[in-house]
């Protein structure tokens, strides 16, 4: 867990203001209603964790090592932060420049403190999962596996991408009491050639002979999974079957390569080299991404990553092949680095699903 | 609509950078995947609207008066913005300080421009709805009315708040092809005494004699509605019925008062005075809020509002009575200010629903 004192020493600040929703949740277990409106700040000060929020959350649960400061009616959060800092003789306040708004920074500086900007201050901590976190992620992965198994018999021609996406969501919520981690990508044929296809805005329908990309995640006890599998409906061409078999080999080899990798960017390089060896095209997205409280978090698994492989990391491995205007395919597992080596948390079989 | 030239003249800047998701959508119709990740910026420059985004959105639709600038692989958006501004001899760039991150501001200033902070720059425009916008909001309100009618027969004792919230969402999506605008608040008895009750985290179950608060919104063609109604299940006490009748009178009077109001804050004052006249307790939230592309937007309808009533505004009127540890009730309509006076867009009857 995070040692506040050493965090402040490293940052060389008197106190630190955490504003990012998931960082507040991570450090205190406190969870306001919306990740996207500013409903709470966390002030790390004098060895204390002070959650600054309003009266709506007075009864909300939070960790024993944190305390709530409830704003008075009309009291603004920046004023309260300024006052508490002043009372504690704080001259320099560290802030999350990748989350704090410019307007908030201007308001806070008016209280007379010097603000110091930091980026991804908690990533080194959050990227190493505790046993409890790993348990929650495994559970989310397990539900994802089950839902994919549950939905397969319902996939058929004439069905729309939207219908399948909605059915997935219903199964996650009704069947397992979990949440969908992000809007599922369900993309048929040429739509799947766009790695970030927007199913909600699309109008795709399955035909006999279609291949279908299903990329979805489950959120359970605040932690997320991420999986992509391909489904062939009816007669699938040999070209697709053969290419899929090659992609599958590349994906498996890349997962195995994690055991020998030291820097995570080498995983990205390895994967693209393997595709090239097979005369397969490169893909435009990262080979993988860290996952946990957020669907995209540290570590990075791409060419600009400076992250080192460490035990406790959880990330995806998801190479794809995209042929514009024809089709696309991707195979994605959520994995973790354990003392014994790579452990693949996604258990759903990786062969092309045929219905 | 927004005249870019006069906006820049008012702001006294050479160009303006719009970063807020809904403001980009409002000005260009361009809609990336996530409102919460930074996937696009809009640069208002030399009478042009330049959307800066990445290759994923190359084919995405946008208004005829806007153009796409697609980032090259590895090109960062702030670099592209800095370069385009420099090519156009921009010395001062206006920015949305209520949306831009501090880190983005730091990066942008490194390109050599002076940045000027503005707050709510588009609120005066967005708060006045066009006919098309009003049509979409009316449609969202209509679906909300229908769903509430559809769900009433399904409400019964032993049912949980979560089940009703989920049923609402399913009806909105399956029955009307629309989206839920925010996580519905379904709160039984004492839970309803918390105006921002979190149904997802709660465990409430309906009993015979319960009253149930249902607060939900529908999003249709990007525009949202918002409605709150109360349902009495089985034998409801006379105390509740009588209090409800008084609240209903206050709500109706407040809606009617909008016709005579000049400043919107006077609506808030009027509503609270009416409650006091009836010896009813005050409530802790605003009397209403503007609604449109966002569920909470300009104008403000509370005591700190400086907004003036204008034709074309759309906002809610939602007084409530909250008795801690006992029960809570709220009645909320979405209304618009037309040339002829107040028009109530929420048509579902306001009487206590009895099942």
Domain map (residue ranges) of chain B: 4-123, 131-354
Query: pLDDT (tens digit, 9 = 90+) per residue, B8-27?
Result: 888 888 999 999 999 999 99
Cα–Cα distance, A152 to B16 (Å, whole number): 49
Burial class (CB in 10 A: 0-12, 13-18, 19+), A196: middle
A142 pLDDT higher than 90: yes
Query: pLDDT (tens digit, 9 = 90+) per residue, A314-329?
Result: 999 999 999 999 999 9
**DSSP single-letter state for residue A122:** T
pLDDT given at position A48? 93
**CB-based contact, B56 to chain A, within 8 Å:** yes
Cα–Cα distance, A147 to A169 (Å, whole number): 9
**CB-based contact, A325 to chain B, within 8 Å:** no
Query: Helices A161-170 and A131-151, interaxial angle, to 10°?
Result: 130
Do A50 and A67 contact (CB within 8 A), yes or no? yes
Which residues, at least 6 apart from A314, have a Cβ–Cβ distance to it below 8 Å?
A129, A134, A137, A290, A291, A292, A334, A335, A336, A337, A345
Q: Kindly state the average pLDDT of the residues A254-278.
A: 98
Query: pLDDT (tens digit, 9 = 90+) per residue, A52-103?
Result: 998 888 878 999 999 999 998 778 999 999 999 999 999 999 999 999 999 9
Closest Cα to residue A297, out of A185, A230, A349, A222? A222
**Look-up of token digits 């600009």:** A304
Q: Which of A60, A102, A118 to mutate to test the interface with B (most CBs of B within 10 A)?
A: A102
H-run or E-run covering A93: strand A92-96
Contact A100 B102 (CB under 8 A): yes
Length of chain A (residues): 355
Q: Is the CATH number of domain B4-123 3.40.350.10?
A: yes
Cα–Cα distance, B281 to A107 (Å, whole number): 34
Q: Kindly state the average pLDDT of the residues A13-33.
A: 94
Do A306 and A325 contact (CB within 8 A), yes or no? no
Cα–Cα distance, A331 to A214 (Å, whole number): 10
Pairing of β B320-323 and β B327-330: antiparallel
What tokens were used for B303?
């005591």
pLDDT given at position B76? 92
Across-strand partners of A179?
Answer: A219
**CB-based contact, A282 to chain B, within 8 Å:** no
How far off is chain B from A350, nearest CA to CA, in Å?
Answer: 26
**Which residues 97-116 of B are in CB contact (within 8 Å) with A?**
97-106
Cα–Cα distance, B172 to B227 (Å, whole number): 14
Helix, coil or strand: residue A20: coil
Contact B97 A119 (CB under 8 A): no
Query: Helices B238-257 and B265-277, interaxial angle, to 10°?
Result: 150
pLDDT given at position B5? 81
What is the number of CB-based contacts under 8 A between chain A and chain B?
65
Predicted TM-score (pTM) of the model is 0.93
Q: Kindly state the average pLDDT of the residues A291-318.
A: 97
Exposure letters B131-170 (e unless 16+ CB within 10 A, then b): eebbebbbbbbbbbbbbbeebeeebeeebbbbbbbbbbbb
Closest Cα to residue A139, out of A23, A258, A34, A292? A292
**Look-up of token digits 């990336």:** B32
Length of chain B (residues): 355
**CB-based contact, A72 to chain B, within 8 Å:** no
3-state secondary structure B105-173: HHHHHCCCCEEEEECCCCHHHHCCCCHHHHHHHHHHHHHHHHHHHHHHHHCCCCCEHHHHHHHHHHHHH
Contact A117 B102 (CB under 8 A): yes
Query: pLDDT (tens digit, 9 = 90+) per residue, B254-306?
Result: 999 999 999 999 999 999 999 999 999 999 899 999 999 999 999 999 999 99
Spell out which residues of chain A touch residue B173, defining contact as CB-CB under 8 Å.
166
Instruction: Give the count of beta carbons closer than 10 Å to the beta carbon of residue B4.
Output: 18
Cα–Cα distance, A142 to A149 (Å, whole number): 11
Cα–Cα distance, A175 to A253 (Å, whole number): 34
Query: pLDDT (tens digit, 9 = 90+) per residue, A340-350?
Result: 999 999 999 99
Question: Cα Rg for chain A, rounded, in angstroms?
Answer: 23
Query: pLDDT (tens digit, 9 = 90+) per residue, A143-158?
Result: 999 999 999 999 999 9
Write down the CATH number for the domain with range A4-125: 3.40.350.10
Helix, coil or strand: residue B13: coil
Instruction: Give the count of beta carbons closer than 10 Å to the beta carbon of residue B191.
Output: 21
Contact B106 A100 (CB under 8 A): no
Do B317 and B255 contact (CB within 8 A), yes or no? yes
Cis before B299 (ω within 30):
yes
Contact B101 A106 (CB under 8 A): no
* % of residues, chain A, pLDDT over 70: 100
Name the more confident of A337 and A201.
A337
Residue of B nearest to A185 (CA): B33
pLDDT given at position A13? 87
Main-chain phi, psi angles of B216, to 5 degrees: -150, 165
Residues of chain B below pLDDT 50: none
Residue of B nearest to A194 (CA): B56
Name the more confident of A181 and A13.
A181
Please give the ipTM for the structure prediction.
0.91
Choose among B103, B194, B198: nearest Cβ to A117: B103
Helix, coil or strand: residue B256: helix
pLDDT given at position B299? 98
Residue of B nearest to A33 (CA): B198
H-run or E-run covering B11: helix B4-11
Helix, coil or strand: residue A5: helix
**Which residues 186-215 of B are in CB contact (within 8 Å) with A?**
194-196, 198, 201
Cα–Cα distance, A167 to A231 (Å, whole number): 15
What tokens were used for A287?
């080979």
| CATH class of residue range A131-354 | alpha beta
Share the mean pLDDT of chain A: 95
pLDDT given at position A188? 98
Cα–Cα distance, B133 to B135 (Å, whole number): 5
CA distances from A291 to A219, A254, A297, A317, A334 (A): 11, 18, 5, 11, 8
**CB-based contact, A294 to chain B, within 8 Å:** no
């Amino acid at each position: 867990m995070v040692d506040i004192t050493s965090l402040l020493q490293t940052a060389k600040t008197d106190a630190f203001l955490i504003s990012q929703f998931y960082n507040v949740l991570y450090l205190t277990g406190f969870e306001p209603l919306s990740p996207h409106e500013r409903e709470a700040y966390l002030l790390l000060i004098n060895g204390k964790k002070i959650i600054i929020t309003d009266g709506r959350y007075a009864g909300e649960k939070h960790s024993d090592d944190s305390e709530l400061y409830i704003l008075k009616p009309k009291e603004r959060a920046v004023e309260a932060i300024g006052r508490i800092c002043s009372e504690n003789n704080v001259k320099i306040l560290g802030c999350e420049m990748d989350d704090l708004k410019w307007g908030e920074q201007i308001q806070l500086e008016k209280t007379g403190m010097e603000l110091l900007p930091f980026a991804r201050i908690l990533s080194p901590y959050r990227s190493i999962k505790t046993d409890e976190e790993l348990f929650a992620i495994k559970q989310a992965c397990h539900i994802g596996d089950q839902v994919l198994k549950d939905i397969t018999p319902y996939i058929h021609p004439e069905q729309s991408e939207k219908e399948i996406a909605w059915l997935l969501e219903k199964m996650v919520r009704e069947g397992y009491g979990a949440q969908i981690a992000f809007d599922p990508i369900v993309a048929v044929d040429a739509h799947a050639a766009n790695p970030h296809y927007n199913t909600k805005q699309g109008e795709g329908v399955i035909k006999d002979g279609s291949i279908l990309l299903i990329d979805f995640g489950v959120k359970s006890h605040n932690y997320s999974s991420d999986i992509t599998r391909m489904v062939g409906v009816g007669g699938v061409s040999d070209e697709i079957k053969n290419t899929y078999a090659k992609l599958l080999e590349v994906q498996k080899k890349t997962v195995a390569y994690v055991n020998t990798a030291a820097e995570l960017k080498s995983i990205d390089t390895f994967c693209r080299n393997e595709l090239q060896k097979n005369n397969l095209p490169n893909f435009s997205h990262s080979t993988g991404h860290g996952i946990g409280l957020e669907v995209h978090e540290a570590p990075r698994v791409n060419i600009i990553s400076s992250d080192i492989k460490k035990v406790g990391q959880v990330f995806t491995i998801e190479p794809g092949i995209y042929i514009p205007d024809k089709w696309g395919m991707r195979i994605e597992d959520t994995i973790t680095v354990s003392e014994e080596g790579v452990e693949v948390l996604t258990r759903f079989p990786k062969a092309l699903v045929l219905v």
